[in-house]
Structure 1
Amino acid sequence: MELSAITLDCADPLALADFYHRATGLPLHPANRPDFAGLQRDGGLLLGFQRVDDYRAPEWPGQTVPQQVHVDFDVDDLAATAARLLALGATRPEPQRDPDRFLVLIDPAGHPFCLCPRRAG
């Protein structure tokens, strides 16, 4: 068994795919459409975004609408990467639970994701 895709629910798949494309540099999938979009490099893992009618964004750190899934990204420069993502439309919730180990940001559709300092090794 091989993991081939991770898909996030959202209201606007094309917009969310564009955010993560600009954030990660992963190529947009050539078959993107308004109800499903994705990012994929050379047949690797697909990061997908599917439209859900009446989508409700997760609440973080609250759990009225649970996050259900989140993605972690290793980065070389936590502050610079966070600043770039905030400029692209991410938001930074407060409080941060452990900002020396990871920084939580919220994508434009409301999904929390973490930036983690890349460890040598």
Structure 2
Amino acid sequence: MPLQMKLSAITLDCPDPLALAAFYQQATGLELHPRSNADFAGLDCEDEVFIGFQRVDGYRAPRWPEQTVPQQLHMCFKVEQDLDEVEVRLLELGAGKPDHQPHGARARVLTDPVGHPFCIVEEAD
């Protein structure tokens, strides 16, 4: 019988937890966890997965799609709005857009301000 485990948190390494939490807070509308600080910050997702950001001295950004510095983690976010509009807003917030886009028109690969790749995926009709 498999264990009954439910994912409760994902934590990303980064050089500045509060700054990276602010990027994802603006992108998702999630609330900053009240005990967030300069070493560890988080976003509360109510009954969903908590997203944490922990300070790492000497942090090196992932190199996607290369693996010279592995990506460490890849998150995907479903979006209900127009994918082009969401992409533009995320780029304004500080996201990057790699040249390599393997998913076609219904998804985009972006990178957060410290290099973690993530996807925005058009919500299926």
TM class by shorter chain equals over 0.9
Give ranges in structure 1 of 5+ residues lacking alignment: none
TM-score (norm 1): 0.94
Matches within 5 A, 1:1-121: 1-42=5-46, 44-76=48-80, 77-120=82-125
Partners in 2 of 1:112 and 1:44 — Cα distance? 21
TM-score (norm 2): 0.91
Q: Cα deviations across residues 6-41 of structure 1 (Å, max 9, x unaligned)?
A: 000000000000000000000000000000000003
Number of aligned residues: 120
Give ranges in structure 2 of 5+ residues lacking alignment: none
CA 115–31 in structure 1, closer or farther in 2 if over 3 Å, else same? same
Question: Residue 72 of structure 1: SS of its match in structure 2?
Answer: strand
What's the Cα RMSD here? 1.1
Q: Cα deviations across residues 77-98 of structure 1 (Å, max 9, x unaligned)?
A: 1100000000000011102122
The one-letter amino acid paired with 1:98 is H
Determine what percentage of the aligned residue pairs are the same residue: 58
Partners in 2 of 1:52 and 1:45 — Cα distance? 22
Comparing 62-71 with 18-27, which one deviates more in the overlay?
62-71
Question: Residue 68 of structure 2: SS of its match in structure 1?
Answer: coil
